[in-house]
């Protein structure tokens, strides 16, 4: 089955007066114009970090009653349980909330469900256990918004509930004391893109500030402010890991969180950086996405997310390093299992014409619940289709879906919710549990929705939106320094994507066991010569010959190796030049 060829689109050039409106490099200004910054004031605000005012946490709907109840619990010595989720966003949110509440003087513990045995969201067996262990107040982080019945059950068990979440909201809100979710219609729009850890951070801020003003508190206002700052590294990790837009409030939080991460004061994260061979001084959003987040997620996928929670809560470096070694082992296993699951899914799709199939649906008992989302992601990337991979069980099946921009997968699952035990997620990624007897009906219903919505979109292909075309000789350290001012880059603040035509291939080879493409190009033998890396493009090496001419689409990045730095093209696609 062939992978889907990419379509190259080009942003229109910015007006000449805009490109000459400031001292910035015209290429940087073109990229910023393409990101929606259309005047000099907006550009200056963005580059100086002034585009996101430090928000008052109490502007979020239900923040005041939530803070009041938590402060009351602290004053009375009640037991608080923080109920989290098993992915990197949920784990960092759980660590953040328990750390902040403990610093505020609370008797607090944490509970993170097992991905395989319990699945996403609140479950009744866990709630009964938490209540039996004496919890008076339950605070959810990164989950709970769709757990209407479970929240009602928690109330019957004698616990009051505060829900903090950022996932899509169902037909009704859970009957909690407070429901803090920036997607609520009655919530101010500035916070709509917060990650689960970002919502948890705002609640933690509110509690720390409120407690510091109490006469009985041992926490001063200065200490509360220091604690707020120290939690930002967790916010950065969770926000980037959950692929939330890095604009406005999120960009401000992640920028400050990266500064905190570079201080290296959280032993668990410092150990993870060392295990991933990431320099503390240069850690950025890409390092979180590709090095830190997968290691945190490996715990919840293959064992227990409590491993990652304990690591991030650990204060002693030697212990933290040992924990990080264990996570590294799990992460390597995760990589192997993902490749095996992807191969198994491809085998099941061998008879399917993927170019004519609007949604890919694969189910089997060979898939593991912790890996299905990764396998679905690979299929979606490979064929540019919504993809669903399901672990089939005797009575229950657990599945994950990954989608494309043209198809809202959580909306599709909402429409078939009578078939599901539970579900949740976002427009591009979701998870669900379904009874095995309902699996065929679910497959049929999702395929029908995709056929209806995507039928008019013939020849679906992934799109590369190219910011600017340039010549190799324009690429230098001065340009890279200007582009660095966009950091932290990520969703909706993507790094610049550029095209160089008629590049001469100096040498080409496959690396990483043949998976990746390593290439060097120049301008018809003239300097500079630039190295390029194409992750996942190893098979394209067969198309290239030394001295052939190619057009290359790339991000410009800095390669650091053995203490040396060099400019490198992170190749997204390439074609033979037409001359």
Residues 141 and 37 in one domain: no
Q: Are residue 142 and residue 248 in the same domain, yes or no?
A: yes
119 is a domain residue: yes
The reply to whether 136 falls in a domain is yes
Whether 123 and 69 map to the same domain: the answer is yes
- Residue 307 in any domain: the answer is no
Q: Can you tell me the distance from the alpha carbon of 429 to that of 372, in angstroms, rounded to the nearest whole number? A: 12
Domain CATH code at residue 133? 3.90.1640.30
Measured CA to CA, the distance from residue 44 to residue 31 in angstroms comes to 14
pLDDT in tens, 132-168: 999 999 999 999 999 999 999 999 999 999 999 999 8
**CATH at 30:** 2.40.50.460
Name the packing angle between helices 293-302 and 267-275 (round to 10°): 100
Do 525 and 511 share a domain, yes or no?
yes
| Tokens, residue 554 | 């790339």
**Domain region containing 519:** 7-51+463-576
Instruction: Compute the distance between CA of residue 377 and CA of residue 374 in angstroms, rounded to an integer.
Output: 5
Tally of structural domains, the chain: 3
Residues 180-206 pLDDT 10s? 999 999 988 778 899 999 999 999 999
- Indicate whether 254 and 208 sit together in one domain: yes
Query: At 242, is the secondary structure helix, strand, or coil?
Result: coil
Residues 70, 77 contacting (CB under 8 angstroms): no
What percentage of the chain carries pLDDT values higher than 70?
Answer: 98
Is 67 in the same domain as 43? no
89 plus 220 within the same structural domain = yes
- Say yes or no: 70 and 212 in one domain: yes
User: Do the Cβ atoms of 454 and 484 come closer than 8 Å?
Assistant: no
Cross-strand partners of 552: 500, 574
In a domain, 330, yes or no: no
Is pLDDT larger for residue 52 or for residue 22?
22
Q: End of a domain among 222, 240, 263?
A: 263
Query: Mean per-residue pLDDT for 527-544?
Result: 91
Asked if residue 269 belongs to a domain, the reply is no
Tell whether the model's pLDDT for residue 3 goes beyond 90: no
Average pLDDT over residues 425-429: 89
Task: Indicate the residue among 263, 296, 321 that finishes a domain.
Answer: 263
Question: pLDDT for 449-497, tens place per residue?
Answer: 999 999 766 678 889 999 999 999 999 999 999 999 999 999 889 999 9
Compute the C-alpha angle 4/6/11, nearest 5°. Answer: 155
CATH code, domain carrying 376: 3.10.310.30
Residue 238 lies in a domain: yes
- Examine the pLDDT at 1 and tell me if it is beyond 50: no
Q: Are residues 408 and 434 in the same domain?
A: yes
Q: Are residues 194 and 72 in the same domain?
A: yes
Would you report the helix, strand and coil content of the chain in percent, each value rounded to 5? 45, 20, 35
What separation in angstroms does the CA of 419 have from each of 219, 429, 446, 451, 453?
Answer: 50, 19, 11, 19, 20
For residues 112-122, give the mean pLDDT.
Answer: 84
Regarding whether 161 and 38 lie in a shared domain, the answer is no
**What's the pTM value of the predicted model, to 2 decimals?**
0.91
Is residue 38 included in any domain, yes or no?
yes
Token pair 């010959």 is at which residue? 545
Domain-ending residue, one of 263, 279, 308: 263
pLDDT band at 70 (very low <50, low <70, confident <90, very high): very high
In a domain, 342, yes or no: no
Share the mean pLDDT of the chain.
93
**pLDDT, tens digit (0-9, with 9 covering 90-100), for 291-327:** 999 999 999 999 999 999 999 999 999 999 999 999 9
């Amino acid at each position: 089955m062939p992978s889907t060829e990419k379509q190259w689109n080009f942003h229109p050039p910015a007006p000449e007066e805009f490109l000459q409106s400031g001292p910035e490099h015209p290429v940087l200004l073109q990229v910023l114009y393409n990101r929606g910054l259309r005047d000099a004031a907006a550009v200056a605000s963005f580059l100086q970090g002034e585009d996101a005012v430090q928000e008052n946490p109490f502007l979020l709907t239900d923040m005041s009653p939530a803070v009041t109840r938590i402060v009351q619990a602290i004053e009375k010595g009640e037991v608080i349980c923080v109920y989290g989720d098993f992915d990197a966003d949920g784990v960092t949110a759980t660590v953040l909330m328990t750390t902040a509440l403990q610093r505020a003087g609370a008797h607090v513990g944490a509970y993170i469900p097992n991905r395989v045995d319990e699945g996403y969201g609140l479950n009744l067996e866990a709630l009964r256990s938490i209540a039996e262990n004496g919890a008076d107040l339950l605070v959810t982080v990164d989950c709970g918004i769709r757990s209407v019945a479970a929240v009602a059950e928690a109330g019957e068990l004698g616990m009051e509930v505060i829900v903090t979440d950022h996932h899509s909201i169902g037909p009704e809100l859970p009957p909690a004391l407070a429901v803090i979710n920036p997607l609520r219609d009655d919530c101010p729009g500035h916070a709509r893109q917060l990650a689960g850890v970002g919502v948890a951070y705002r609640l933690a801020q509110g509690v720390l500030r409120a407690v510091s003003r109490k006469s009985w508190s041992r926490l001063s206002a200065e200490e509360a402010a220091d604690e707020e700052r120290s939690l930002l590294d967790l916010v950065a990790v969770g926000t980037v890991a959950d692929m939330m837009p890095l604009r406005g409030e999120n960009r401000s939080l992640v920028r400050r969180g990266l500064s905190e991460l570079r201080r290296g004061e959280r032993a668990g994260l410092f150990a993870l950086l060392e295990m991933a061979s990431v320099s503390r001084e240069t850690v950025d959003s890409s390092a979180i996405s590709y090095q830190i987040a997968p290691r945190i997620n490996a715990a919840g996928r293959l064992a227990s997310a409590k491993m990652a929670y304990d690591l991030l809560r650990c204060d002693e470096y030697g212990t933290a390093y040992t924990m990080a070694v264990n996570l590294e082992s799990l992460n390597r296993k995760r990589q192997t299992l993902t490749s095996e699951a992807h191969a198994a899914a491809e085998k099941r799709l061998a008879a399917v014409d993927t170019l004519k199939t609007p949604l890919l649906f694969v189910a089997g008992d060979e898939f593991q619940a912790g890996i299905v989302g990764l396998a679905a992601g690979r299929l979606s990337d490979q064929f540019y289709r919504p993809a669903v991979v399901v672990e089939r069980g005797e009575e229950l099946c657990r599945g994950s879906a990954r989608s494309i921009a043209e198809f809202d997968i959580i909306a599709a699952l909402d429409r078939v919710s009578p078939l599901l035990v539970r579900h949740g997620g976002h427009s591009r990624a979701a998870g669900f549990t379904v009874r095995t007897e309902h699996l065929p009906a679910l497959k049929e219903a999702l395929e029908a929705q995709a056929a209806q919505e995507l039928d008019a979109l013939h020849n679906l292909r992934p799109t590369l939106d190219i910011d600017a075309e340039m010549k190799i000789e324009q690429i230098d350290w001065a340009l890279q320094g200007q582009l660095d001012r966009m950091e932290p880059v990520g969703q909706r603040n993507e790094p610049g994507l550029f095209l160089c035509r008629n590049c001469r291939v100096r040498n080409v080879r496959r690396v990483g066991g043949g998976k990746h493409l390593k290439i060097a190009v120049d301008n018809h033998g003239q300097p500079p010569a630039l190295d390029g890396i194409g992750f996942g493009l190893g098979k394209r090496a067969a198309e290239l010959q030394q001295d052939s001419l190619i057009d290359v689409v790339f991000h410009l990045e800095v390669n650091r190796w053995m203490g040396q730095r060099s400019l490198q093209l992170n190749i997204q696609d390439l074609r033979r030049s037409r001359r």
